[in-house]
Amino acid sequence: MSAPHPQDSLPAFIPVVVGGDIGAYSLARAFHEAYGIRSVVISRLQGWHISRSAIIENVRCADPFDAAQLAPVLQDVAAAHPEGRLLLLGSADATVKAIIRVRDETDALDERWVAPYVDLATFRAGTEKQNFTELCRRLDIAHPLTRVFDLAEDLPADVDGLDVPFTYPVIAKPAEVSEWKKSDFAGKQKVHTVDSAQDLLELLRRIQGAGYRESIIVQDRIPGDDQNMRILTCYCDADSVVRFSSFGRTLLEEHSPGAIGNPAAIITSVDREVTAQAQRLCKELGWTGYANFDLKYDPRDGATKFFELNPRLGRSNYYVTAGGHNPVTWYVDEHLGAGLPTEGPGSGEGADGIVQDQPETLYTVVPVALVKHYTTLPDAKEQLTRVLDAKRVKNPLIYRGVERNPRRWAMIAAAMTNYVRKFRRYYTPGDAA
């Protein structure tokens, strides 16, 4: 557990997290570790990640992705908690977008609320994948070769009109995740691997037929399985200067259709070059608060390539806490406390201006035996062995001494067993994207 953060100079506050997944629970745990306080978690359903938790007060919202439905729920939360400030965070891109709309387009949030996110134009500039790809190209940041199809327009009549400038198989994914969630079609996945031009054209037609009218991003598939994935989380101040970063190497991702691509096991590390590239991206965007980047190491040229920017602490944000730096303290210090450092570590100035050193620690939401089974690359196996020998392993759901409800522990045990079944069903390691 992280050491408690000093509270003497802090006003009373309540974290309010919109979302009901493991990312929301991880945020609530981070606040509890740092400040000993409970969080209000707003969700459509009370999923097992947040159910019967001692650190969460759950409030329901019929559609937390819809600003019009979220706004009155936030007002009800404020009325139920009349004392102190309210720090409002989202655990998914769509909930962050809804929070921005409530903050900037309604009068639902009074002066007690802090919603530490960029405006909607900056959100779109950084998170819509075609915009991010163009930003990487302009700044000469390594990224996968990309072709964008705007499904608001007519599709090519045949495969010759696709004009994909790289070899198959390719990766296809939505540019606008919020709209993607509203569409449904046979075989829908979070990310699609497409084996041929004919398959790609048929997929684009199915997506368009389901009512999705935003862009689809088609990218070169970088060789290598989960062990080549990387993650970077950066905190930017009001001047878009990175004050803190946490780098990690993914060992295993989830592979069930609804969760594919979500990191399941990460070893914390340091990559100053990647952090420097992220600083260029954030400065160009005028980004503030957290930026979470998905990346992949490309063995063909040795470059670590940027895939996308998530406008928040990611679903797997507890990997940051596990590495010894509780990420929520940066929000609290800047917006509720004495402010960010003005010199030394975390000041953004000088050689030590970015806090980024952290010990190797394994973050995992699956049984360690699964991580060991699927970790096959020699350098990854060496890292994993070091971490396991040092007993530096953290699972955000295993919060001993705090979570005491036996039914909650039974659900966690069942989930760990279910992970084994899901990996056997959905994941065959190899040259996957």
Q: Region 407-415: what's the mean pLDDT?
A: 97
More confident residue, 349 or 10: 349
Q: Which pLDDT value is given to residue 66?
A: 96
Tell me the C-alpha distance between 354 and 350, whole Å.
Answer: 8
Which of 65, 79, 74, 140 is closest to 107 using CA atoms? 74
Q: Which CATH class is domain 226-426?
A: alpha beta
Does the pLDDT of residue 384 top 60, yes or no?
A: yes
Residue carrying structure tokens 């797997």: 316
Burial degree of 428 (CB within 10 A; 0-12, 13-18, 19+): exposed
- Split at pLDDT 50, 70, 90, the class of 182 is confident
pLDDT at 257: 80
In this predicted structure, what is the pLDDT of residue 103?
Answer: 98
Domain boundaries defined on the chain: 13-118, 145-220, 226-426
**Mean predicted confidence (pLDDT) in 319-323:** 98
Nearest Cα to 2, choosing from 321, 391, 392, 400? 321
Strand partners, 215: 150
Q: In this model, does residue 334 exceed pLDDT 70? A: yes
State the architecture of 13-118 in CATH terms. 3-Layer(aba) Sandwich (3.40)
Q: Work out the pLDDT band at 431, boundaries 50, 70, 90.
A: very low
Pairing of strands 146-150, 242-253: unpaired
Q: What is the pLDDT of residue 1?
A: 42
**Per-residue pLDDT at 2 exceeds 60:** no
Q: Is the pLDDT of residue 399 over 50?
A: yes
pLDDT tens by residue, 368-382: 999 999 999 999 999
pLDDT at 351: 81
Portion of the chain with pLDDT greater than 70, in percent: 97
Mean pLDDT of the chain: 94
User: 346: which DSSP letter?
Assistant: T
Q: Would the pLDDT of 266 be above 50?
A: yes
pLDDT value, residue 5: 58
8 A C-beta contact, residue 172 and residue 195: no
Residue 10 confidence (pLDDT) above 90: no
Q: What's the rounded Cα separation, in Å, for the pair 242 and 250?
A: 22
d(CA 182, CA 88) in angstroms, rounded, equals: 24
Position 433 scores a pLDDT of: 43
Give me the pLDDT at residue 430, please. Answer: 61
In 10 A of CB 220, how many CB atoms? 22
Residues found in the chain? 433
Whether 7 shows a pLDDT value over 70: the answer reads no
Q: Which residue has the tokens 């100079």?
A: 9
Q: What is the pLDDT of residues 189-244, one digit of tens each?
A: 888 999 999 999 999 999 999 999 999 999 999 999 999 999 999 999 999 999 99
pLDDT at position 392 over 70 = yes
Q: Which residues pair with 350 in a beta bridge?
A: none
Residue 234 bridge partners (DSSP): 245, 291
Buried b (16+ CB within 10 A) or exposed e, 162-194: bebeeeebbbbbbbbbbbbeebeeeebebebeb
Return the H-helix or E-strand segment holding 217: strand 215-220
Outline where DSSP puts E strands in 61-189.
Answer: 85-90, 113-114, 146-150, 170-174
Instruction: Report pTM.
Output: 0.93
Superfamily for domain range 145-220: ATP-grasp fold, A domain (3.30.1490.20)
Average pLDDT over residues 13-28: 97
Has residue 295 got a pLDDT over 80?
A: yes
pLDDT at 192: 92
Q: How would residue 8 be classed by pLDDT, with cut points 50, 70 and 90?
A: low
Per residue in 79-134, pLDDT tens?
999 999 999 999 999 999 999 999 999 999 999 999 999 999 999 999 998 899 99
Q: Which two tokens stand for residue 143?
A: 């990224």
The number of beta carbons lying within 10 Å of the beta carbon of residue 69 is 15
pLDDT value at residue 9: 58
The torsion angle over the Cα atoms of residues 102, 103, 108 and 109, rounded to 10 degrees, is: 140
* DSSP symbols for 365-383: SS-HHHHHHH--SHHHHHH
* Calpha distance 246→359 (Å, rounded): 11
Q: What is the Cα–Cα distance from 132 to 343, expressed in whole angstroms?
A: 32
Q: At what angle do helices 93-105 and 120-127 cross, to 10 degrees?
A: 160
Joined together, the tokens standing for residue 311 give: 């406008």
Q: Of all residues in the chain, what percent are helix, strand and coil, respectively (each to 5)?
A: 35, 20, 45
The pLDDT value recorded for residue 63 is 96
For strands 85-90 and 13-18, give the pairing: parallel
Does 313 have pLDDT greater than 50? yes
